[in-house]
Each structure stands twice: as C-alpha cells, then as structure tokens.
Amino acid sequence: MPRRKALIIGINYFGSSHQLNGCVNDAKNIRNFLVQDRGFSPAPHDMVFLTDEAPNQGTPFFPTGANIMAALHWLATGNSPGDSVWLSYSGHGGQVKDPDGDRESGLDDTICPVDFESQGQIDSDTLHKVIVSPMIKGARLTVLFDCCHSGSAIELPYVYRPNSQGEVNLIDNVKQGVNLATGAMNLLRGGFSAAKIQDAKVLLGGAKSFFAGLQHRPVGDVNEDGLGEENFIEPWKHEGKDVWMFSGCADHQTSADTTIAGAATGAMSHVFLQTMRENPNQSYIQVLQNTRVSLAKKYQQIPQLSVGGLYDLDQQVNF
C-alpha cells in the first residue's frame, strides 16, 4: 500500500535579531492540513516535525543544519513507487554566491537553519542533491517553501513561465483586474440605468480578459504548457524525478511574515492552505494562479511553480 511521508520545518529564530513570528505556526497549520485534509499520519515514523520551540532544544527535532540534513535524508530515502512525500519549510531564505556560474544573478538560493550564523546556510545545490536526486522514480515529492528567494531553492530543472521574461510581473495587472471587477459592482449599486449597465459591461469585460490572461500560453523559450528550462550546469533535467514545488516568491523577491485573523503566519503558507481547502480538486496551474491572485491583493511576492520534468500542469494536484 502506498505510503504518505512528511517533513515539516518551521523556524522563528526566537530571541535573535532576525526573529520571525509566523513560521512555527505555519508548520503547525501545515501539519493539521496534511493530517485532517490529505490523509497523512502524524505518527513519528511517517511525519517528522522540526521547530525551534524551547522543548525541542537538544533533540533531533531542533532545526539545526545537521538535524535538517538528517531529516531530509530520511525523507528522500526508503520510499517505494506510488508513495507520496511532502516537504515544507517556513523560515528565512537567503542567497550566496553561485559557484557554478549558471545563474544570471550570480547567486544561489538558500535556506537558513536556526544555527545558520555559526554553521552556515544550506544552498540550493546541496538541497537538490539531498532531497531530489535520491528520490526513487514513481514516488511523488511535493514541496512548499515559504521563505525569501525561494523560486529555485531546490534547483528543479523546469519552471512555469507565462511570459517571455521568464517570470510573472502581474502585480499591477492583478490589482487592475480586481479593481475592474469591483468597480463594475460599485457602479451598479444604487440603481440601474442603460448607461450604468453598459459601463459595467466594459469594466467586467476588462476584468474577464485579465483573468483569462492568467491561463498559461506558449511564449518564446517555453513549451506548450508554459514550462521553461532553468539551464543549470548540472544535468538535473535528465533525472526525471516526480517533484513539484510551490514557492512563496521568485528568486529576487522576499516573502511576507504577517498576521491574519490575529495569528502570526507566512502569507504564502496561509494562502496555499486556504486555496487547497476551498477546492481540493484543482490542477497544479489552478492552485498557482489562485494563490497568486489572493496574494496580489496585499503583497508583492509572486508564488512560483517548478517541476522535475516536462509534466502536464493541468493534472490534478495529488499528494
């Protein structure tokens, strides 16, 4: 029988000058979602939960660099075809100099363990080698990273690119689409007239065109599914691993640590869980689009979707 297996990491960096507030809550919310909505078992042999809460200090569940690497090794090995494997990380993300010279920015993405100031960050090349490369073919790995500079954090070879720049610069356009729809509704409040109805049709038509434009389409160096190659120097694209990653922002962006309904949380984690709960039967591209639209109402970060192969993005999310 296929197994579900999860590693959930949340780091607030308590008591440090770079303390965050919502990452441990993100981890707890994700654990609840996986158990309650997706059928994962919270048993220790199926789910490993790393946070920097005080009771975890001195245990394997405190998210030091060494403990994270050991947990990643556990997650990526011992799997069988048909298994569903989950990895999520909420914490600080950074960037270090790219030693390979294959990134246009000259930088590799990183994650920051709780002891990163003394023991260093974990870079994207290392993350790929420890979590993606060892995955057995036939097992699916789903990744959610809610941290800054996370677009290429595990160096998956293909990324969804709906425009020729290889990224989605839709913040103003999303706000414009939302404003057009809202404007149409406001216009019709207080009574109808032929002139008002015509103006509202124009506004709604503009909004409809905008939201239709969110659908992926072939542009430039992308295939018919909107997937473009990341051109890493390593032969990652030949591994053919079944890996799907939602990340909170593009490589050059930051992710928001915020408060929603009185509780500290990461904006991406909150919106992703909300999107999945509202409709569990969405495709990968629909989940991406819906999280982008929701986040764009208040934040500038643009979630990304990257994959381990040239896969159909219209297939239903499955983990």
225 and 202 co-located in one domain: no
More confident call, 260 vs 9? 9
For residue 73, pLDDT beyond 90 = yes
> Do 47 and 184 belong to one domain?
no
pLDDT recorded at residue 91: 95
pLDDT score, position 288: 93
Residue 154 sits in the same domain as residue 183: no
The residue whose two tokens read 């294959």 is 102
Task: List 303's β-bridge partners, or say none.
Answer: none
Lowest model confidence (mean pLDDT) among 211-225, 238-252, 267-281:
211-225
At 195 the pLDDT is 52
Tell me whether residue 117 is in a domain: yes
What pTM, to 2 d.p., does this model score? Answer: 0.80
Catalytic positions are 92, 148
What three-state secondary structure class fits 172? helix
Residue 315 lies in a domain: no
Q: Could you tell me which residue, 183 or 149, shows the higher pLDDT?
A: 149
Q: What is the mean pLDDT of residues 236-258?
A: 83
| DSSP H helices in 115-246 | 116-119, 124-127, 171-188, 194-212
Q: Is residue 144 part of a domain?
A: yes
Query: What does the pLDDT read at residue 206?
Result: 43
Q: Return the structure tokens found at 181.
A: 């729809």
Q: What Rg value do the Cα atoms of the chain yield, rounded?
A: 20
Residues 109 and 189 in one domain: no
Q: Which residue has the higher pLDDT, 238 or 187?
A: 238
Q: Report the range of poorest mean pLDDT among 81-95, 156-170, 234-248.
A: 156-170
- Domain of residue 177 covers 171-212
Residue that wins the pLDDT comparison between 171 and 75: 75
Write down the pLDDT at residue 263. 76
Q: Does residue 317 sit within a domain? A: no
pLDDT score of 169: 43
Spatial separation of the C-alpha atoms in residues 129 and 124, rounded to whole Å: 9
CB 165 within 8 A of CB 311: no
Note whether 206 and 281 are same-domain residues.
Answer: no
Residue 44 lies in a domain: yes
134-158 tens-digit pLDDT: 999 999 999 999 988 777 889 899 9
Q: For a pLDDT cut of 70, what percent of the chain falls above it?
A: 78
Question: What tokens were used for 263?
Answer: 């509780």
Q: Are residues 192 and 69 in the same domain?
A: no
Q: Report if residue 73 sits inside a domain.
A: yes
Tell me which of 212, 231, 265 is where a domain ends: 212
Task: Say whether both 103 and 196 belong to one domain.
Answer: no
Residue, of 305 and 193, whose pLDDT is higher:
305
Do residues 47 and 152 both lie within one domain? yes
Please give the share of the chain, as a percent, with pLDDT higher than 90. Answer: 56
pLDDT at 233: 78
Banded model confidence at residue 248, pLDDT cuts 50, 70, 90: confident
Lowest-confidence pick of 31-35, 79-83, 151-155: 151-155
Domains in the chain: how many in total?
Answer: 2
Q: Which of 131, 148, 145 is nearest to 89 (CA)?
A: 145
Least confident of 55-64, 81-90, 230-239, 284-293: 230-239
The CATH number assigned to the domain holding 139 equals 3.40.50.12660
Half-sphere exposure of 216 (CA within 13 A, CB side): 26
Q: Where are the beta strands (DSSP E) in 39-129?
A: 47-51, 84-90, 93-97, 107-111, 122-123
**Model pLDDT, residue 113:** 98
Distance CA 265, CA 249 (A): 16
Looking at the structure, tell me whether residues 248 and 141 fall in a common domain: yes
Residues 189 and 276 in one domain: no
Instruction: Give the residues across from 87 on adjacent strands.
Output: 7, 143
Let me know if residue 240 belongs to a domain: yes
Q: What is the DSSP letter of 222?
A: B
Q: Are residues 87 and 103 in the same domain?
A: yes
Please compute the mean of the pLDDT values over residues 281-292 and round it to a whole number: 94
- Are 192 and 253 found together in one domain? no
Q: Is position 108 within any domain? A: yes
Give the residue from 180, 212, 244 where a domain finishes.
212
Boundary residue ending a domain (157, 187, 212): 212
Rounded to whole angstroms, the Cα distance separating 140 from 128 reads 15
The per-residue pLDDT for range 189-227, each reduced to its tens digit, is 555 444 544 544 444 444 444 444 444 333 446 776 778
pLDDT computed for residue 98 by the predictor: 79
